[in-house]
Amino acid sequence: MRTAIVFAAALCASTIVQARSPTAQILHSGFDSEVTALSASQVAGLGTSEEIVRQYLKRIADIDDSGPRLNAVIAIFPDAIEQARRLDAERRAGKVRGPLHGIPVLVKDNIEVAGPVPTTAGSLALKDNITNRDAPMIARLREAGAIILGKTNLSEWANIRSGSSTSGWSAVGGLTRNPYVLDRNSCGSSAGSGAAAAANLAPLTIGTETDGSIVCPSSVNGVVGFKPTLGLVSRSLIVPISHSQDTAGPMTRTVRDAAFLLTAMAGSDATDPATAEADKRKKDYAANLNAYALKGMRLGVARDRIGDNPAIQARFEAALDVMRKQGAEIVDIADSRKGFDGLGEAEFEVLMFELKADLNAYLATTPSTVKTRTLEQVIAFNKAEPAELRWFGQELFDLAQSKKGLDDPAYLEALAKSKRLAGPEGIDRLLRENKVDLLVSPTTGVAWKTDLVNGDQYSGPSASALPAIAGYPHLTVPMGAIERLPLGISFVGTAWDDERVLQAGYAYEQASKARVEPAFKPSIEATLP
């Protein structure tokens, strides 16, 4: 359900890859940086930002709205071309804001962006949530010269409404399809951002994560996803789940592009207390990326967390071999699960308490056009709207509504326990006891077949929980595919170690070149010889 005009253009052929114009040719640039290639083309006079935007709009029309019909993009901003023209004028006048100058970005539709496009979180309850506010993170991107191209689809309410939901589905945007195999799931909740990045509907996309919502869709859509240290990027004016775990992060085709995007997004925000240290901690994350960063690194492998799928194990062992050849020392961690009793239960308790408190606080700030001002009113709206509860219920909303305030001892105990077990006694302990710099593992399994009736059928291991709960950095990088279904490898570090995590992932990416291009096959059967 597109809520704004898509501007068509005749500057390229049916896809950007096939187009003949110089600008169009470089929109498919390889394994280092599409941002660098697009910027270089403008410097060389081979194209303008306006041309780049028009070509991406054409690709969205050809691939997302028709053709494979991914449903990855919910809305296009009607001023996207005008944004590009202004930035082209600045470039001609000698003002270049940085590497993102004139580069289009797609933003997950739980992040507020000023303009005529609502921020829906995928829910019809927020279809009129036109706030005319830029989230502080978006304001930073604009200052860096980025063009806000549109909004991406997501799992409705960031996948927190029901335990039997289907990832990538929302009442506003419909079902997001995996561009590799269309009947496979795109994971969530940042499904649209992952699918859009994979299909090259924009050079840069942004997702959000509470637990797995950046890294899972990045992994199964064959792209890079980075969940930064909590507090590095402002969460203000993002539809929330949990202030203890929520964060936004880059989803891109390359690690360098993720680093460019993170550099622009990061920084302190007075309205988000968690970001108090961000200005002091942030860096130019692209500046020190190099292909040899793995030399001398000690990487810990939790053998009891990689799952029992032999194909995934084989891909992971091949990835470890690549890193060994780059000079990394691989350290096996035999028993990584000891000491985590009750962590999952504590996390869930925290999420239920914070969902009610944080969502109520956000809804109270929405314009008068939004009639659902509390979680309780959202629950009532869903009961009255058939499209909302067609495929799954809202039992998690009901549970959250039953919780008391954030001064409840049960909440405070769960919060303290979850942070302690995941952080100091979890990741930090594993790093310290094994004398390793980072932890590595498969990110998750391959994409499962979408089933709207029965909901998600997750497969394989998952690396998301510990860094998500602790608030520590987590990067996933493509490590190949099984039967055309992508897999990701995860790099996890301690708090504020974002730069080193990105450096390790970049070195692996450049050595492995493991990302494969999407084929838009209708099914696995269609991929067979």
Instruction: Annotate 425-474 with DSSP letters as a single string.
Output: IIIHHHHHHTT-SEEEEE-B-PPPBP-TTT-----S-B--HHHHHHT--E
Strands 73-76 and 147-152, sheet pairing: antiparallel
Q: What is the pLDDT of residue 7?
A: 28
Q: pLDDT (tens digit, 9 = 90+) per residue, 111-144?
A: 999 999 999 999 999 999 999 999 999 999 999 9
Give the pLDDT band (50/70/90) at residue 204: very high
How sure is the predictor about 28, in pLDDT bands with cuts at 50, 70 and 90? low
Confidence of residue 527 (pLDDT cuts 50, 70, 90): confident
- Whether residue 486 is predicted with pLDDT greater than 90 in this model: the reply is yes
User: What 3-state DSSP class applies to 387?
Assistant: coil
Helices (H), 76-202: 80-92, 136-143, 191-198
Residue 4 has pLDDT above 50, yes or no: no
SS3 350: helix
- Range list of H helices, 60-190: 80-92, 136-143
Q: Which pairing describes strands 174-175 and 169-170: parallel, antiparallel, or unpaired? A: antiparallel
Contact 41, 26 (CB under 8 A): yes
Question: With a threshold of 0.85, does the pTM exceed it?
Answer: yes
The full set of domain ranges for the chain reads: 343-411
pLDDT surpasses 70 at 80? yes
Q: For residue 17, is pLDDT > 50? A: no
Residue 520 DSSP label? -
User: What's the pLDDT score for residue 29?
Assistant: 52
- Look at residue 528 in the predicted model and tell me its pLDDT: 81
Angle between helices 49-59 and 80-92 (to 10 degrees): 150
Q: How far is CA 313 from CA 280, 341, 375, 481, 488, in A?
A: 40, 26, 43, 12, 12
For residue 2, the model assigns a pLDDT of: 54
Report residue 14's pLDDT band, with 50, 70 and 90 as the boundaries: very low
Q: What is the pLDDT of residues 416-458, one digit of tens each?
A: 999 999 999 999 999 999 999 999 999 999 999 999 999 999 8
Question: The tokens of 166 are what?
Answer: 């289907």
Count of CB atoms within 10 A of residue 409's CB?
8
Phi-psi group of 296: left, alpha or beta (phi > 0 → left; psi -120 to 50 → alpha; rest → beta) = left
Backbone angles phi, psi at 132, to 5 degrees: 55, 35
Cβ-based neighbour number of residue 191 at 10 Å: 37
Predicted confidence at residue 460, as pLDDT, reads 84
Range 493-510 average pLDDT: 98
SS3 238: strand
pLDDT at residue 5 is higher than 70: no
Quick check: 459 pLDDT over 90? no
- Specify the 3-state DSSP secondary structure of 34: helix
State how beta strands 298-302 and 438-442 pair. Answer: parallel
> Which residue carries 């919780």 as its tokens?
403
Distance CA 423, CA 305 (A): 17
Average pLDDT over residues 484-498: 98
Confidence (pLDDT) at 170: 98
Q: State the Rg of the chain over Cα.
A: 21
> Average pLDDT of 269-290?
98
Let me know: does 198 contact 518? Beta carbons within 8 Å.
yes
**pLDDT (0 to 100) of residue 417:** 98
Name the DSSP class of 184: B
- For residue 243, the model assigns a pLDDT of 98
pLDDT on residue 27: 58
The answer on pLDDT for 415 being more than 80 is yes
Enumerate the active-site residues. Answer: 108, 189, 213
Read off the tokens for 395.
Answer: 């039992």
Q: How far is CA 216 from CA 156, 310, 480, in A?
A: 16, 20, 15
Nearest to 249 by CA among 237, 238, 258: 258
Q: What span, in angstroms and rounded, lies between the C-alpha atoms of 454 and 435? A: 44
Which residues, listed in sequence order, are joined to residue 444 by a DSSP beta bridge?
Answer: 462
Residue 162: is the preceding peptide bond cis (ω within 30°)? no
Structure tokens at 511: 């050595």
For residue 187, what are its two tokens?
Answer: 């994971």
- 22 has a pLDDT exceeding 70: no
Work out the mean pLDDT of the chain and round it to a whole number: 94
The mean pLDDT of 66-95, rounded to a whole number, is: 97
What SS3 state is found at 496?
coil
Residues 96-111, mean pLDDT to the nearest whole number:
98
Average pLDDT over residues 134-161: 98
